[in-house]
Homo-oligomer: A and B are copies of this chain.
Amino acid sequence: MKIGIIGLGLIGGCLGIDFRAAGHTVYGLARKEASCQQAIARGIVDAASTHIESLCPCEVIFVCTPIATIVSMVKQLAAALSPTTIITDVGSVKAAIATEATQHWPQFVGGHPMSGKSEAGLEAAEAGLFQGNPYVITPIESADVHTDLAAVEVIEQLAKQLGSRLYRCAPHAHDRAVAWISHLPVMVSANLIEVALREPDPQTRALAQHLASSGFRDTSRVGGGNPELGLMMAQYNQAEIVRSLKRYQQAIADTIGYLEAEDWAKLSEKLTQTKAGRSLFVEARPDPSAT
């Protein structure tokens, strides 16, 4: 299959490596000629260009640019491609993208391969990044829009070739689920750092900084990540993040209530449930072939 990849960063680069290894022909598109040359030199793509028309031969195109640019990229593609081409994206929010992109291109299929690493950019691209990790495909099935199921299956077949665990759900269900497990944790974690930084007594603040160890390190990790990514999540998944934050706010208020009332039975029940409940999130790893 001829596959186009727009945006030769970490995700685009990793897709190129794995798709070429699976026998596909990969066409890269980047803004800078230097990225094209680098991608060709590293064997990440078969060909690369800065001109959108170079993707005309492709049967499937993966848009791997930042969330804010995906829809405008689909618009540009719409003027250049033959109507059978399938366009998909890899953005970490789906409702805001899939609905609008589908208006511009009926053969659009929203997707989210949930893989990453701490390093960014083409330099960090490697084989097998998606192996064993979730890949969510989000067809639209509303009253007036219906994503073409044949197109969905093409993307799912490609995701299987990456070794991903496949999930199919509505864009809103994806956004609600990732609010819980990805976006809310960023807000929860960032605010932990913020309040600790704002301890008014300088000696206690310095002591806390010196005493912090693995517990603080882990709980604060995602809140100390890339601010642009956090902001983009908030902008594009605002309603779901607010919903999850409000439920979280209530749970924090309940905790304060238990502590002030010395209701140790309630606090103990909460901590016992969270210990048991965590395993549902960190151990739930079904067989990918079952989906």
B-binding residues in A (CB < 8 A): 114, 133-134, 136, 165, 167, 169, 173-174, 176-178, 180-182, 184-199, 201, 203-204, 207-213, 215-227, 230-231, 234-235, 238, 241-242, 244-249, 251-253, 255-256, 259-260, 262, 264, 267-268, 270-275, 277-282, 284-286
Contact = CB atoms under 8 A, between A and B. Distances in A.
A181 B267 contact: no
A219 B188 contact: yes
B211 A136 contact: yes
Given A114-B213, A176-B208, A182-B216, 10 more contacts: A134-B213, A177-B207, A188-B188, A191-B274, A194-B273, A195-B247, A218-B221, A224-B275, A234-B267, A249-B253
A123 to B, nearest CB: 21
B181 A212 contact: yes
13 contacts: A114-B213, A134-B211, A177-B211, A181-B196, A182-B216, A188-B219, A190-B271, A208-B281, A215-B222, A219-B221, A220-B282, A227-B271, A246-B256
Contact of A188 (B192, B245, B284): B192
A181 B230 CA distance: 23
Contact of A218 (B176, B192, B222, B272): B222
Nearest to A193: B274
Give the top 4 A-B pairs by smallest Cβ distance, nearest first. A224-B278, A227-B271, A212-B281, A185-B219
